[in-house]
């Protein structure tokens, strides 16, 4: 396993982060624990979950798996999503919700502290100084070591850095953006900003929700058990984005991935994951295995290198800074500026 500094913190983390979204849900508890233990045995020391993953079940299973192993793990979780359908206050980036959910996450994870506590999505209704003050209090109380963001834009992170400096608060040390060969838009501003200010970057969905594994073929119907099958006929943002995955340009990317995989005697998913990990500014892509087979395949991305010719071939079908499938649109990045931000 390769280890990299987590941004400016000086903490070494594995170049692959184990995402725990499926654990306690699609992946049964006993299998989830086996996967976590095997990942740790293979050198993975960075785990990421969230309170909303199966409404807390992922955190519970992750906590059980880490009994006796906690001190050697950099453990991350997130807050923002709705945790109670009947309580309008049980979501968002308010002080009330953050403090309440941190306590709940600590209990579910069975730990006294969280290494990285992340704001799962930006929220324009809550001024960033309110969010930062709550997170700063958690750090000063010893319940959280570091704080980060997920799916924030570059300007939103810059605003947070300015606010933290102005108010003398602990700053965000990481960002978790969507990043893969079908959406390279973070290369335009977010990655250069992160490198400039020492922010760790831990991309989610490096395999474009499984599209880059190669299981989808041009001209063939989408398998009925696929995560895309239930979305492609929807008229909302997710339906439109799903359709973009199955465009000619996206299949062109798969074609080059397949060629490189054959040349390197690797799987397409391993090459796609290694490409994300090799990009300047990236710390640790987050994998989301559902089975032990998925984990074993993902771990095979460690050690893959790319020549200038390899990178150019991928650039030719997936242009730098471009997006074949735009993950930064719609519900995820809906911004409604408040009348009085400061």
284, part of any domain? yes
Known catalytic membership, residue 327:
no
**3-state DSSP of 160-226:** HHHHHHHHCCCCEEEEECECECCECHHHCCHHHHHHHHCCEECCECCCHHHHHHCCCCCCCCCCCCC
14, part of any domain? yes
Q: Does the pLDDT at position 151 exceed 60?
A: yes
Percent of the chain with pLDDT over 70: 94
222, part of any domain? no
Give the per-residue pLDDT at 84. Answer: 85
Domain region containing 35: 3-209+279-290+322-333
49, part of any domain? yes
- The mean predicted confidence, pLDDT, of the chain is 92
Residue range 181-189: mean pLDDT, rounded: 96
Give the per-residue pLDDT at 10. Answer: 96
Categorize the per-residue pLDDT at 15 as very low, low, confident or very high, splitting at 50, 70 and 90.
very high
196, part of any domain? yes
CATH number at residue 11: 3.20.20.100
239, part of any domain? no
Categorize the per-residue pLDDT at 89 as very low, low, confident or very high, splitting at 50, 70 and 90.
confident
The number of folded domains in the chain is 1
Q: Does the pLDDT at position 22 exceed 90?
A: yes
258, part of any domain? no
151, part of any domain? yes
**Annotated catalytic residue: which of 53, 146, 216, 327?**
53
Give the per-residue pLDDT at 331. Answer: 44
Q: What are 266-286's pLDDT values in tens digits?
A: 999 999 999 999 999 999 999
């Amino acid at each position: 396993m390769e280890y990299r500094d987590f941004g400016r913190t000086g903490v070494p983390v594995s170049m692959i982060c184990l995402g725990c979204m499926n654990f306690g849900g699609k992946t049964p508890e006993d299998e989830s624990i086996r996967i976590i233990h095997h990942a740790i045995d293979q050198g993975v020391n960075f785990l990421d979950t969230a309170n909303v993953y199966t409404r807390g079940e992922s955190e519970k299973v992750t906590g059980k798996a880490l009994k006796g192993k906690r001190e050697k793990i950099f453990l991350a979780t997130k807050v923002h999503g709705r945790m109670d359908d009947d309580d309008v206050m049980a979501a968002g980036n308010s002080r009330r919700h953050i403090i309440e959910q941190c306590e709940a996450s600590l209990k579910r994870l069975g730990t006294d502290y969280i290494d990285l506590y992340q704001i799962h999505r930006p929220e324009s209704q809550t001024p960033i100084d309110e969010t930062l003050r709550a997170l700063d209090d958690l750090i000063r109380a010893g319940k959280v070591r570091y704080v980060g963001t997920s799916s924030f834009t570059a300007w939103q992170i810059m605003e947070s850095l300015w606010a933290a400096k102005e108010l003398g608060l602990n700053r965000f040390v990481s960002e978790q953006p969507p990043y893969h060969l079908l959406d390279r838009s973070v290369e335009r501003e977010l990655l250069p900003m992160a490198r400039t200010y020492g922010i760790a970057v831990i991309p989610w969905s490096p395999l474009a929700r499984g599209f880059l594994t190669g299981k989808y073929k041009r001209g063939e119907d989408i398998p009925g058990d696929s995560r895309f099958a239930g979305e492609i006929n929807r008229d909302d943002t997710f339906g439109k984005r799903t359709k973009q995955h199955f465009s000619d340009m996206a299949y062109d990317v798969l074609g080059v991935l397949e060629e490189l995989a054959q040349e390197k005697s690797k799987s397409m998913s391993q090459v796609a994951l290694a490409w994300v990990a090799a990009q300047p500014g990236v710390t640790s892509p987050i994998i989301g295995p559902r089975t032990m087979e998925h984990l074993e395949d993902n771990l095979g991305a460690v050690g893959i290198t790319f020549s200038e010719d390899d990178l150019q071939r991928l650039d030719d079908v997936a242009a730098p800074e471009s997006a074949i499938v735009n993950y930064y649109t719609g519900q995820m990045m809906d911004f409604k500026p408040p009348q009085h931000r400061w």
